[in-house]
Amino acid sequence: MIKTEYIDKIKDFFTSSKFIKAVYLIAFTVLITAIIASQNFFFQTIIENGISKKDIIAQKTLTVVDVKRTEQHKREVAQKVEPILVPAEDDFIKSNLETIENSVLQIRKKSSTEKEKIDELNILFDLSDNPKKDFILDFLLHVDEPSLKEAFDKASLSLVNILQIGITEKDYEKDNITTLIQNNLVNNVSKRQVSIITALLEQVIVPNLVVDEAATEIAKMNAQDSVKPYKITFQKGEKIVFEGEPVTRLKRDALREAGYNVYELNWQGILSIYILVLLVTLIFISYLKVFEKQFIEPRYMALTGMIVALTCITAIILPTGFSPYILPIPGVVIISAIFLNPRISFLTSMLLLFILTVGMQYDTQFIIVFAILSLIGMITISKIRYTRRFDLIKVGFNLGIAGVLILLSLYFIDKCLIDIDNYMILKNCGYIFLNGLLNSIIVLGASPLLESTFHIITPYGLAELGDHNQPLLKRLQMEAPGTYHHSLMVSTLCEAAAEAVGANPILARVGAFYHDIGKLKRPLFFVENQSYFSIENPHNKLNPRLSKMVITAHPKDGLEIAKKNGLPSVICDFIMQHHGEGLAKYFYNQAVQEEGVENVKEEQFRYPGPKPNSKETAILMLADAVESAVRAMKGATSDEIETIIDKIIVERLNDGQLADSPLTLKDLKVIAMTFSRILRGMQHNRIKYQENIAEEFAKNKIEIPNKAYDEDLEKKIKELESSKQIKEKNLTEDTNINKDINKDL
């Protein structure tokens, strides 16, 4: 027993949705890793342990930058840059000279002995190495005050001259500073004053020019940037490497320029690529779970995985040296934006660019160009009009032009630093322009195929389904005309309300067209068709429970018809959810009157559901009920229309029919206002036309057109005859309606 339970747990684990999703995740990441890593098998590996395995001859003239020599030259140039000096504060130096002057005057005025005054001057001046020490001390103590004042004044003026020139650390040496002082003394300095002034200035002068580290570093960088790169040219037919030669960085760059794969992708490299692919995939899935939950479905994931895999395969099989700007990144953006949404398209393209740039060793220019182009594409496609297919070609054209401008701007920046072949610029610009244009054409042609393969309805598919010449809509128009016109009115309400609350107006309109196609099975059992065919209400002959089964079966019947005709699942949601689990009130009340309230349960008279789970289907539920109610109130006033709208919305809200939809109370208020505005416009009045048209014609001497030649009238007669045949057909079918009802039950 325990063993059986253990086996059941293992089976449950391997059949659980989490395990299956993990298997798909691993399979996808392994597939992408294998595609990226396969580049090593398409091109022969020519390097082993850093040694060339064969002679490689250049098939075209190659110019390669010698990075090593260029960097060495840059370092040498930077070392030769002299430090940039800036002046420091000079007031401190000048104040020191004034302090010495005041100190000397105070010492002279003291009544102390000669020896004490000399000792104080020795403390104030460092004259130990000065051969004229005694003369200087004697001058400072005994010279008359005017002469002393003159010496200090000339010293101050000389100091100003010296500070203007500037004193560096290199200048601040004993011999250098003495020479500097004597060369910059003011005029009219006597020989004995030279010694005194020199001694005074030696005591106060310090360097007033300091190194500006930041400015010096900038100067070195500018000097390095001015160095032109060393280039090595390999002529066509010249050997790039010899067999057995160590492959330096220069030779690796030349081989890469020639289109060879110079990397040995070992298990460590493969594991690194797998980790990158896995991380990128998990980021994408996490984004969808947090921000775009509605796209966490196998069909959307399969489509995204397919376009990513095809793009990677394209990158692998491109010929050697071919431009990467031909990769279908614009196609990835356009397909993702149409089949998912523009935000997801931008994320998909960016994550794919990361994988390709790392895995294929593309330049950073590649990711910059396509990243900006993806952003432009996301914005452009979000504003496209899907009613005109040619607009998609315009998007591709605009992406091509934008790609050319981006590429040229980057090349012009590079041209300021290095020489770039003009032919290569023109070639890549041509590639990226054709890339955008051709991708849009391919996507336009492939969209129907992708729609049918992945069962995803796009705005283009919705526009096709919205064509009133569609077979189902033509059937609805001919076999259930009341239902058809009701659907048209509801579609107008849905489209306006959806646009007002930020939902998808095209989806809401098309879903409204098809929501009642289940009534095609028994059109005469629905009141809007009975007046057209002028028949008695068949429900008068049925009990309420049987009538309820007929009425509430039309969503299920509609689903069967939709699947038979290949309608997408998103339209099927409108068919099944437009009544939710609502109560068929008319037949419920009728049953209560006949059987008694204690014998009737509401659950027995509810639609099977499910409840609306999107904004569009919830809007349809409200629009369907509101349009029917207002139509029943012939000649309703504006106040009556608003009252019935509010009543129906409150009833659906209190009944819990909107519990699964994302509509907010604010949305419901906006929807109510939109319904009221549209319905008030529908309830307009017309003037009464003349009843006796023939008399009016005679009065105005206008001949009545000959009916035999009135082509429009003949057409109308044929339509009436066709409608009569349909009417007779439906009446024949409805004679056996009890048998059909019992069979359905």
Q: How far is CA 356 from CA 262, 319, 371, 465, in A?
A: 17, 16, 12, 38
Which string of DSSP letters, residue by residue, matches 511-537? HHHHTTGGGGSSGGGSHHHHHHHT---
pLDDT band at 595 (very low <50, low <70, confident <90, very high): confident
Closest CA to 428 of 381, 378, 370, 346: 370
Is residue 162 scored above 50 in pLDDT?
yes
Q: What is the pLDDT of residues 619-646, one digit of tens each?
A: 999 999 999 999 888 778 888 999 999 9
Of 51-55, 250-254, 430-434, which has the strongest mean pLDDT? 430-434
CATH top class, domain 267-456 = mainly alpha
Is residue 579 scored above 90 in pLDDT?
yes
Is residue 324 scored above 80 in pLDDT?
yes
Q: State how far the Cα of 200 lies from the Cα of 133, in Å rounded to an integer.
A: 12
Span 466-473, average pLDDT: 91
For the chain, give the percent of residues with pLDDT over 70.
82
For the chain, give the percent of residues with pLDDT over 90.
35
What are the start and end residues of each CATH 1.10.3210 domain in the chain? Answer: 462-684
Q: What is the pLDDT of residues 523-555, one digit of tens each?
A: 988 888 887 777 888 888 888 888 899 899 999
- The residue behind tokens 């996301």 is 378
Distance of alpha carbon 502 from the chain centroid: 19
Closest CA to 66 of 426, 418, 540: 418
pLDDT band at 472 (very low <50, low <70, confident <90, very high): very high
Average pLDDT score over the chain: 81
Residue 688 pLDDT: 54
Cβ atoms 392, 444 nearer than 8 A: yes
pLDDT band at 708 (very low <50, low <70, confident <90, very high): very low
Q: What are phi and psi of 582, to 5 degrees?
A: -70, 165
Determine which of 141-150, 288-297, 604-613, 699-708 has the lowest per-residue pLDDT on average.
699-708
Residue 141 pLDDT: 78
Is residue 411 scored above 80 in pLDDT?
yes
Q: What is the pLDDT of residues 62-73, one digit of tens each?
A: 778 887 888 888
Distance of alpha carbon 596 from the chain centroid: 61
Cβ atoms 67, 250 nearer than 8 A: yes
- The residue behind tokens 């089949």 is 339
CATH topology of domain 462-684: Hypothetical protein af1432 (1.10.3210)
Span 418-443, average pLDDT: 87
Check residue 580 and give left, alpha or beta (phi > 0: left; psi -120 to 50: alpha).
Answer: left
**In the 3-class helix/strand/coil scheme, how is 113-172 assigned residue by residue?**
CHHHHHHHHHHHCCCCCCCCHHHHHHHHHHCCHHHHHHHHHHHHHHHHHHHHHCCCCCCC
Q: Which residues contact 280 (CB under 8 A, 6 or more apart)?
A: 351, 354, 355
Is residue 670 scored above 90 in pLDDT?
yes
Q: Count Cα atoms within 13 angstroms, Cβ side, for 35.
A: 21
What are the start and end residues of each CATH 1.10.1760 domain in the chain? Answer: 267-456
Is residue 82 scored above 80 in pLDDT?
no
Is residue 107 scored above 60 in pLDDT?
yes
Q: How far is CA 32 from CA 20, 25, 278, 363, 418, in A?
A: 19, 11, 9, 20, 36
- The residue behind tokens 């040498």 is 76
212, amino acid identity: D
Residue 704 pLDDT: 44
Is residue 501 scored above 90 in pLDDT?
yes
Distance of alpha carbon 245 from the chain centroid: 48
Q: What is the pTM of this model?
A: 0.62
Q: Is the pLDDT higher at 333 or at 455?
A: 333
Q: How far is CA 213 from CA 75, 85, 166, 216, in A?
A: 17, 9, 18, 5
458, amino acid identity: T
- The residue behind tokens 């356009």 is 334
Is residue 701 scored above 60 in pLDDT?
no
Burial classification of residue 223, based on how many CB atoms lie within 10 Å of its CB (0-12 exposed, 13-18 middle, 19 or more buried):
middle
Largest CA distance in the chain: 151
